[in-house]
Chain A
Amino acid sequence: MNRRNLLAWVWGVIVCLLLAHSAYLLMSDRLAPDTDILALLPVQERDPVLQKAVTHIVASTRQRLVVLVGADDWEQTRRAANAYHAVLAPHTELLRLDDRANSWQADESLVGRHRLILMTGSDERALKRQPESYWINFALSNLYSPFAGGKLAPWQDDPFGLFAAWMQARAGETRIRPRDGRLFVSEGRRQYVVMLFTLGVSAFSMSAQKTLMPLLEEAQQAARMAAPQGEVLKEGVILHAAAAGAQAQWEVSIIGAGSILGIAALIWLTFHSLKPIAWIMLSIGVGCLGALSLCWILFERIHLLTLVFGASLIGGAQDYGSYFLCNRLTAEGQKLDSRQLLRRLLPALTLALVTTVVGYLALALTPFPGLQQMAVFSALGLIFAWLSVICWFPALVRNGAVTSAPAVKWFEGSLWRWQSLRCRRRLLWAGSLFIVAAVFGLSRLDVQDDIRLLQSPPRHLIADQLQMSRLLAAPAPAQFYLVRGPTVEDLLQREEALKRRLDPLVEKQIIGGYHSMSDWVPSFQTQAARRSLIEKKLLDEDGALATLARRIGAGSQWVDSTRDRLRASGLALTPDEFLSTAASESVRHLWLGEVAGGHASIVALRGVSEANLLFLRRAASGLEGVQWVDTVEEISSVLGRYRRYMGWVIVLSYFAVYILLYSRYGGSAWRVLAPIALASAATLAVLGITGQSLQLFHVLALMLLLGVGVDYGIFFKDHPRRSDPVGWLSVGLSALSTLFSFGLLSLSKTPALQAFGLTMLIGTVAVCLIVPCFDYETQQKVGEPAPLAL
């Protein structure tokens, strides 16, 4: 082993270790990327109770798959549903049908012991206000109604219909009803069987998605065969995860393969030889390998969107290798060997790496775990590619190994077409034109911080979701009230106080309704108040019950026994007792129980829309222990806050990079930064003119543009003479490969990545076009071809 090659050997061993680790990950099937969209969103660190509430709600829906099979008559619907289920039934390890057809009916013993205290808010008010005659008439009309049967309790156990009305209200919380051993909903003539599946595998496992999706498709075909006019609607986290996963996988391969091919073609055009292609691919390969391997060690899993974003890394990782090779071209004349060449290039290469890595790490300053992972992945990839160039290229690339192709001559010549800054009149014109266009574009730029930037589910999933939320009238998962109290009794009383504010909104049909524990288990205070109301108005010596008995010709003995039975059904009910029954299934996810030294619960809402958010927020104001939570709004506000915050970070970064550059270039350091600043302004102007809204991801891309653009400035600055076009060649190669990567990224279906790619695309082109204009030595050359107009 040669001492001079020691570095190359050491790096070789490290790369072998990376290879072994990646192979291990691949073999043990741990490389399967994460597809959980929520993993990209910030964690609420401030408030553990709020965090628990959010995870509680998320966990209750994550493993769910809801399928509606519908047709115009019940027989067809059932046939289609049976056909659908028959396909899935054998796969119990994947998913199981929840047959909860009867669980909405209250528990027998629960009803028997606590019926008396269960009544609707409006009946409670009626008990206070309405005269006895109202209740007697109500009891009589119930008695003479032919519907005596089918009620949940015999007439004598609930003569005034209080419990029946309460039960009706509880049943009204969902539109799903049992029918023929199935669950069903209807809308107009359309009848649907509702099937609630629970997944036995993680919704975010790609292998589970790949087995389940074709099965669901097959089941859907079977349902269509059974009822050709029927329809199938589905909703579930796994559907979104699978769609996002398939989309991202497609994008990874397109961006990856596209960039690789593009770069290979570029290098071929430059050097007309296969060896440089192999060297550059080697450095890119080690970069990707290192990023993957270390990222997995750091995060224990890799998000699929990280890979999509990471695929655009290929364009950046080739910069160092091609800069080295381009310099090798001119080094031939100067009789430098590769080792000496590297020593000469090292400062520029290091500066280029540091500025780009700093650009990427700015992404890691945001609280979005997904962005942090993307940033670390990209930075690691660049560092590993850079190290490969430093350690291997001097050993691999011998003197005279590269020659330039004819295309290079033409490209180098193109530099003369650029106008230099010295032409004052033309500069004035170009400058003012630029300023007018930039001001016009910037003035048209508005901002957008919507959560939808992070995910863009396929249209058919959104359509299904909309239709199902109308059919099932399910509560909103993203907006709710978080209620807290030192004791369970306080908590229930606070829920009731909140509900008194919500009742008018329900009455005016501003919202559909609400779900809470206190609907099922009133506070002790309310339970006691209801008991005394019933005693006074209905059970009193000459109350409604006694008068009712006279009207139907029943004796005092009947009155006494009925009164005793009613009183016996008025025992105090606690949440703990209720939670131990099957009837509590529908509210279990609302009860957080004991958290952080107190008790907390969720009040969920039906029929939440953009239009009524303001009313809902206002309803919570001034109520002790009640907090309005809008997770969508919260994420949007985080996106907005970080958009502004990152804007300032960029401004500061310009100063920091300037100081860094000043140490090397002194007074002309501004010439490296000015093109980037102008390109950023131009990019924003283009976004404004094309009607895009500014969002966090544009701003983040501008940060990265600073990192990448500085490379160009440095490459150029180190080869300022136009007779020495290595800088221009390196910038050209680098810019074109960046264009491949980020150009392809701008085709992504994820709006955030698309915005990022597009900004980088426009920005890189602009930097590339502007950089030569800040090359100040041109005018000192005499006898060169006259520059043409810009």
Chain B
Amino acid sequence: MKIGLLICALTLTAVALVAAAPVARIQSILAKPEVLCGRFDQTKRLVGLKRPVTSNGRFCVLADKGVLWRSLQPFSTTLRLTRDQIVQMQGQRVTQRLDARREPAVQMIHDVFFALLAGDLGQLEKFFVVEGDVHEKSWSVTLKAREPGLAQAISGIALEGGVFVKSIAIDETNGDRTKIVFSAIQTGAGAITAEEAALF
């Protein structure tokens, strides 16, 4: 009887270890540069719209600072996320600003977005249930929101990557789908342009 319990407990532990394994392995595969910039191509399929809406631009992830997301084609708009505020700009004009002092969710939005682009699964596990597979140097995971409010809007997020995150797919509960593919990724101080650095 006692031995039976022991075996049972060991098996459960083993299962837990297997489940946790991909996150740790993926973390070990991922590079964690100070500065990460690249190109993104975004495709949105909206319910009721026959043609997908496509756009592209550049993004930068700066450790300890935040995220810069610049749509360039066909519509130019810049989004800057830090822990303190989220700012949307058209050219130099600020069109929307969310301040963490007024909106406590700003920090959370920043943390999630930052973790998605940096592939920080440890951070993402705070907000999502993470399941994944690893094949040598490439990996894929699916995320389900823990927060009921978020789960109401987003049915699932899929991430694919290797050393960096390669693509993000977001499924919304109403049927809208967004796919973002990253390419031309550069790291290090030279990755960010002077113009972009000035925006921080």
Determine if A141 and B88 form an interchain contact, defined as CB atoms under 8 angstroms apart: yes
Closest to A554 in B: B49
Question: What's the Cα separation between A706 and B136 when bound, in Å?
Answer: 97
Closest to A471 in B: B104
9 contacts between A and B (CB under 8 A): A105-B149, A137-B95, A138-B95, A141-B88, A145-B79, A147-B109, A179-B108, A552-B53, A554-B51
The residue from A74, A144, A148, A180 contacting B172, defined by CB atoms under 8 A apart: A148
Task: Give every chain B residue within 8 A of A185 (Cβ-Cβ).
Answer: 104
A156 within 8 A of partner (CB): yes
Question: What's the Cα separation between A144 and B176 when bound, in Å?
Answer: 13
Supposing A141-B77, A171-B103, A178-B149 touch, asked if A149 and B170 sit within 8 A by C-beta, the answer is: yes
B25 within 8 A of partner (CB): no
Task: Give every chain B residue within 8 A of A622 (Cβ-Cβ).
Answer: none
Question: Could you tell me how many residues of chain A have their Cβ less than 8 Å away from some Cβ of chain B?
Answer: 40
A interface: dominant SS: mixed
Determine if B75 and A144 form an interchain contact, defined as CB atoms under 8 angstroms apart: yes
Question: What's the Cα separation between A152 and B172 when bound, in Å?
Answer: 11
Determine if A150 and B153 form an interchain contact, defined as CB atoms under 8 angstroms apart: yes
Which residues of A (712-733) have their CB < 8 Å from a CB of B? none
The residue from A145, A150, A181 contacting B154, defined by CB atoms under 8 A apart: A150
Determine if B149 and A141 form an interchain contact, defined as CB atoms under 8 angstroms apart: no
Which residues of B (53-96) have their CB < 8 Å from a CB of A? 53, 55, 69, 71, 75, 77, 79, 88, 90, 95
Task: Give every chain B residue within 8 A of A148 (Cβ-Cβ).
Answer: 44, 170, 172, 176, 178
1/0 contact string of B144-187 vs chain A (CB within 8 Å)? 00111110111000000000000000101010101010000000
Question: What's the Cα separation between A148 and B147 when bound, in Å?
Answer: 17
Besides A141-B71, A185-B104, 15 more A-B contacts (Cβ < 8 Å) are A105-B152, A140-B75, A141-B95, A144-B75, A148-B178, A149-B172, A154-B47, A156-B47, A168-B98, A177-B104, A179-B108, A181-B148, A552-B51, A554-B50, A555-B50
B138 within 8 A of partner (CB): no
Determine if B147 and A179 form an interchain contact, defined as CB atoms under 8 angstroms apart: yes
Task: Give every chain A residue within 8 A of B50 (Cβ-Cβ).
Answer: 554-555
Which chain A residues have a beta carbon within 8 Å of chain B's beta carbons?
74, 101-102, 105, 137-138, 140-141, 143-152, 154-156, 168, 171-172, 175, 177-181, 184-186, 552-555, 558, 561-562
Question: What's the Cα separation between A148 and B69 when bound, in Å?
Answer: 14
Determine if B104 and A144 form an interchain contact, defined as CB atoms under 8 angstroms apart: no
Greatest chain B CB density within 10 A among A148, A184, A553 is at A148
Task: Give every chain B residue within 8 A of A175 (Cβ-Cβ).
Answer: 102, 104
Task: Give every chain B residue within 8 A of A179 (Cβ-Cβ).
Answer: 108, 147
Question: What's the Cα separation between A186 and B170 when bound, in Å?
Answer: 28
The residue from A137, A151, A156, A186 contacting B153, defined by CB atoms under 8 A apart: A151
Task: Give every chain A residue within 8 A of B102 (Cβ-Cβ).
Answer: 172, 175
B105 within 8 A of partner (CB): yes
Closest to A101 in B: B148
Determine if B146 and A155 form an interchain contact, defined as CB atoms under 8 angstroms apart: no
B interface bracket (residues with beta carbon within 8 Å of A):
35 or more
Determine if A178 and B147 form an interchain contact, defined as CB atoms under 8 angstroms apart: yes
Determine if A186 and B75 form an interchain contact, defined as CB atoms under 8 angstroms apart: no
Supposing A172-B102, A178-B147, A178-B149 touch, asked if A145 and B49 sit within 8 A by C-beta, the answer is: no
B126 within 8 A of partner (CB): yes
Question: What's the Cα separation between A185 and B88 when bound, in Å?
Answer: 24
With both chains docked as a complex, state the minimum distance between the C-beta of B73 and any C-beta of chain A, in angstroms.
10
Question: What's the Cα separation between A143 and B103 when bound, in Å?
Answer: 22
B107 within 8 A of partner (CB): yes
Determine if B71 and A144 form an interchain contact, defined as CB atoms under 8 angstroms apart: yes
Task: Give every chain B residue within 8 A of A146 (Cβ-Cβ).
Answer: 42, 69, 79, 113, 178, 180
Question: What's the Cα separation between A175 and B102 when bound, in Å?
Answer: 7
Task: Give every chain A residue within 8 A of B190 (Cβ-Cβ).
Answer: none
Question: What's the Cα separation between A555 and B147 when bound, in Å?
Answer: 37
Greatest chain B CB density within 10 A among A150, A152, A155 is at A150
With both chains docked as a complex, state the minimum distance between the C-beta of A407 and any C-beta of chain B, in angstroms.
71
The residue from B109, B113, B149, B176 contacting A155, defined by CB atoms under 8 A apart: B176
With both chains docked as a complex, state the minimum distance between the C-beta of B175 and any C-beta of chain A, in angstroms.
8
B46 within 8 A of partner (CB): yes
Task: Give every chain A residue within 8 A of B126 (Cβ-Cβ).
Answer: 74
Task: Give every chain A residue within 8 A of B154 (Cβ-Cβ).
Answer: 149-150
Which residues of B (31-47) have their CB < 8 Å from a CB of A? 42, 44, 46-47
Determine if A558 and B49 form an interchain contact, defined as CB atoms under 8 angstroms apart: yes
Question: What's the Cα separation between A181 and B150 when bound, in Å?
Answer: 12
B48 within 8 A of partner (CB): yes
With both chains docked as a complex, state the minimum distance between the C-beta of B146 and any C-beta of chain A, in angstroms.
6
Supposing A141-B88, A154-B176, A172-B103 touch, asked if A149 and B153 sit within 8 A by C-beta, the answer is: yes
Supposing A141-B90, A143-B53, A180-B146 touch, asked if A156 and B77 sit within 8 A by C-beta, the answer is: no
Question: What's the Cα separation between A145 and B89 when bound, in Å?
Answer: 11
The residue from B48, B98, B105, B180 contacting A156, defined by CB atoms under 8 A apart: B48
Question: What's the Cα separation between A562 and B46 when bound, in Å?
Answer: 12
Question: What's the Cα separation between A145 and B176 when bound, in Å?
Answer: 14
Task: Give every chain B residue within 8 A of A102 (Cβ-Cβ).
Answer: 148-149
With both chains docked as a complex, state the minimum distance between the C-beta of A96 and any C-beta of chain B, in angstroms.
21
Task: Give every chain A residue within 8 A of B153 (Cβ-Cβ).
Answer: 149-152
Task: Give every chain B residue within 8 A of A105 (Cβ-Cβ).
Answer: 149, 152
Task: Give every chain B residue within 8 A of A154 (Cβ-Cβ).
Answer: 46-47, 172, 174, 176
Question: What's the Cα separation between A374 and B68 when bound, in Å?
Answer: 68
Which 3 pairs from chain A and chain B are nearest by CB? Answer: A141-B77, A154-B174, A149-B154
